[in-house]
Amino acid sequence: MTDFRSDNTCGIHPAVMDAIQKANTGTDSSYGADGYSVELKKRLSDLFEKEVSIWLTNTGTAANSLALSSLVKPFQSVICHQNSHINTDECAAPEFFTSGARLYAVKGENGKMDLSQLQHYLNHTKDLRPHTSIPVCISVTQATECGTVYSLNELQKIAEFAKKNALSIHMDGARFANALTTLQCTPAEMTWKSGVDVLSLGGTKNGAMMAEVIVFFNQNLTTDFDFRHKRAGQLMSKMRFMACQWLALLENNLWINNALQANNRAKKLADIFQKYQFTLPWPVESNAVFVSLPKNIADALIADNIQFYDWHSDISPLYRFVTSCFTTEADLQSLEKSLDRMVISYDGLH
């Protein structure tokens, strides 16, 4: 079985598992007052070159929605890309956690928001006060749901737009490490130096069991956040087992190495598809490869025990292959061999 379905079908990185085991000695204060949680806050402050406040959650959905609830009031709205996870995959969790705030979805190529059409709308909403819900926040997904990565320059432009329009910025970083590796910049540059107020920092897709961190760069937003976190059922009692996962990821740069390996495998995967001249709708800049495959090819791959997701595109058949730090050369070879065989057997593929 070769599994390219998602970077969440894999297990826990051995070093993370090891950390959980090591944390399992004696008793410790519950609800985040443990030593691991305290240490993690320090380590992340160092990493981001800024005093940050952090809260751990068990899912990206909770991280994103809780983060947004600190940025937007129930009668306001959040600008996001129409393909963003908060818009398509979180079952109205943002509305739930924010007590009813609205998402304002915009289009844009390569999974990146096109803000150029937005200025007119924003100006207009001010005239409509209080008849319409006014955007006060932008949520940026880095890396995007299309596997692309906003450049620092692009993030800067969003920051300028946000500043001009008094919008705060949330970053959905479920695949933060994958993007960081691609940009080869510092975590600070990709976040608060690019105007980000709150980050959902994903660990689960990068080798953790489950450990997402809400990272606040703007301390003004955190006054009441411990109440929100508790009220949302996210204040886990044995929090040390959450915090230790991220400590392990940070140790020896494991999180970067994991992302690097996943990204590299994705690039090779893209090469393989391109060798057979399949179309890749978006540049491969992180660990997800989207590819247009004829349905018979897709079916044949499945028959060969290669797993991946049908992306249900409106247009043509589109499939998603995702790599992780667990993806091996052997996985790639399985896919390549399978494709090789088909090209021969189907002869004149397209």
**Residue 74 has which token pair?**
């129930």
Site for a copy of itself in 121-150 (CB under 8 A): 124, 127-134
Nearest distance from residue 46's CB to a copy of itself, in Å?
A: 26
Give the containing element (helix H, strand E) for 230.
Answer: helix 225-231
We find the least distance from the C-beta atom of residue 229 to a copy of itself, in angstroms, to be 7
How does strand 309-310 pair with strand 134-141?
unpaired
Select 95 or 154, whichever has its Cβ closest to a copy of itself.
Answer: 95
What phi and psi values does residue 257 have, to the nearest 5 degrees? -65, -40
Residue of the chain from 42, 46, 51, 74 that contacts a copy of itself (CB under 8 A)? 74
Q: Are 260 and 179 in contact (CB under 8 A)?
A: no
Amino acid at 87: N
Toward a copy of itself, which CB reaches closer, 3 or 340? 3
- Report whether 140 contacts 86 (CB < 8 A): no
Query: Beta partners for 2?
Result: 306
Judged by CB under 8 A, the chain residues 214 through 243 that form the site for a copy of itself are 224, 226-238, 241
38 binds a copy of itself (CB under 8 A): no
Residue closer to a copy of itself, measured from CB, 113 or 155: 113
Selected binder of a copy of itself within 43, 49, 50, 73 (CB under 8 A): 73
At residue 105, the 3 state secondary structure works out as strand
Write out the binding residues for a copy of itself, residues 253-282 only, by CB under 8 A: none
- When binding is defined by CB under 8 A, the residue of 39, 49, 95, 154 that contacts a copy of itself is 95
136: phi then psi, degrees, rounded to nearest 5: -130, 5
* DSSP E strand stretches across the chain: 2-3, 53-57, 76-81, 102-106, 134-141, 168-173, 198-202, 212-216, 288-291, 306-307, 309-310, 319-322
* CA dist., res. 193 & res. 206, Å (int): 24
Cis peptide before 143 (omega within 30 of 0): yes
Give the range of 7-15, 35-43, 106-114, 150-158 binding a copy of itself by CB under 8 A.
7-15
Residues of span 151-210 touching a copy of itself by CB under 8 A: 204-205, 209-210
Count of residues binding a copy of itself (CB under 8 A)? 80
Residue whose CB is less far from a copy of itself, 124 or 295: 124
Residue 22 makes contact with a copy of itself by CB under 8 A: no
Among 41, 44, 54, 65, the residue binding a copy of itself under the rule CB under 8 A is 65
Q: Is 5 in the site for a copy of itself (CB under 8 A)?
A: yes
Task: Pick between residue 76 and residue 110 the one whose CB is nearest to a copy of itself.
Answer: 76
